[in-house]
Amino acid sequence: MSDETEEVAEESSEPEAEMAYGCPVSWSLDQKVIHPAAEAWKATAAALYLDGWNMCVDITAVDYLTFASNRQLPAGIAPERYEVVANFISHERRERIRARAQVSAADPVIDSLYEVFPGVDTLEREVFDMFGITFTGHPDLSRILMPETWEGHPLRKDFATGAIPVQFKGAPPAR
């Protein structure tokens, strides 16, 4: 193959996808976002910790039931109904990194990060309570915002809204 042909072949090849911690990378508002598989969630968090990401600032979830096509995912990441999102900070680097894992609606389960970042205890309980996503290995996965007898998960897009009347303090009684 001539030098000219090699140059054309190099130019026409797809750029290699950016990877970090074994995960595809995307960017959002100048922040690196990694996309681990649900099965690699805890291992990825442990790798982040060992690399100086010393604090998990937040864990939340998103229900994409009605917005399945409105999100940007790197090639090779299959969208699921739920997405668990964690934000990590490195005080030494003065940087943040976000991790987004797709979680199946048929089996909404992902590993707990409690062993790596004990401060996520209440954050994972909130996600469990509001979205019904189970965190395997969590020491006390119980409701934290809703009563224990509550049925359903209020932040799921298919949760019936307005089914329970709310009486605010100081408001006149409903007639």
User: Is residue 10 in some structural domain?
Assistant: no
Average pLDDT for the chain: 89
8 — pLDDT class (breaks 50, 70, 90) = very low
User: Is residue 123 in some structural domain?
Assistant: yes
Number of structural domains the chain divides into: 1
H/E stretch holding 108 reads: none
User: Is residue 85 in some structural domain?
Assistant: yes
The C-alpha atoms of residue 175 and residue 166 are separated, in whole angstroms, by: 13
User: Is residue 164 in some structural domain?
Assistant: no
User: Is residue 159 in some structural domain?
Assistant: no
24's CB contacts (< 8 A; 6+ apart) are 17, 18, 34, 35, 74, 75, 76, 77
Q: What is the pLDDT of residue 32?
A: 97
pLDDT of 51-110, one tens digit each?
Answer: 999 999 999 999 999 887 678 899 989 999 999 999 999 999 999 999 999 999 999 999
User: Is residue 141 in some structural domain?
Assistant: no
Closest CA to 78 of 99, 62, 100: 100
Provide the domain limits for residue 109. 16-70+77-136
User: Is residue 2 in some structural domain?
Assistant: no
DSSP 119: G
Q: What is the pLDDT of residue 9?
A: 44
Share of the chain above pLDDT 70, in %: 85
User: Is residue 107 in some structural domain?
Assistant: yes
The whole model's pTM is what?
0.82
Q: What is the pLDDT of residue 160?
A: 82
- Please classify residue 108 by burial: count the beta carbons closer than 10 Å to its beta carbon, then call 0-12 exposed, 13-18 middle and 19+ buried: buried
CATH number at residue 36: 3.30.460.80
